[in-house]
């Protein structure tokens, strides 16, 4: 069962632009952020950090998917409008364009 870590003050949002989505997570104290996407299998995408502590992942797709983050190796579920229970007793966010 995944435990969701408290990572302090965070902000999470997406920007849709020309056939891709940019996922943002503000986590200034984090050393590493990975976006975990579920589909047919799990895919891990390393986020890139800017100088302000905002992390970004660009995905070249706009289909619906389920996701959560790994922040410094610990599962983190941001505040998101759409969620679902997973098979492991936790929740995932749902991206739906």
Domain spanning 11-95: CATH superfamily: Immunoglobulins (2.60.40.10)
- Looking at residue 5, the DSSP 8-state letter turns out to be P
pLDDT tens-place string over residues 52-61: 889 999 998 8
Dig out the tokens for 29 from the structure: 């104290």
Q: What is the mean pLDDT of the chain?
A: 84
Q: Lay out the sheet containing 48-49: strands in order across.
A: 11-17, 20-26, 54-59, 48-49
Per-residue pLDDT band at 93 (split at 50, 70, 90): very high
| 30 pLDDT more than 70 | yes
pLDDT on residue 90:
79
Tell me the whole-structure pTM to 2 decimals.
0.83
Taking alpha carbons only, the member of 90, 71, 81 closest to residue 13 is: 81
| 22 pLDDT more than 90 | yes
């Amino acid at each position: 069962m995944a435990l969701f870590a408290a990572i302090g003050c965070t902000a999470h949002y997406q920007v849709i632009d020309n056939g891709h989505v940019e996922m943002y997570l503000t986590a200034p104290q984090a050393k590493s952020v990975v976006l975990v996407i579920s589909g047919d299998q799990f895919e891990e995408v390393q986020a890139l950090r800017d100088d302000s502590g905002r992390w970004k992942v660009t995905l070249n797709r706009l289909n619906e998917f389920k996701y959560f983050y790994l922040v410094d190796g610990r599962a983190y579920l941001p505040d998101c409008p759409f969620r679902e229970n997973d098979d492991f007793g936790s929740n995932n966010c749902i991206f739906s364009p």
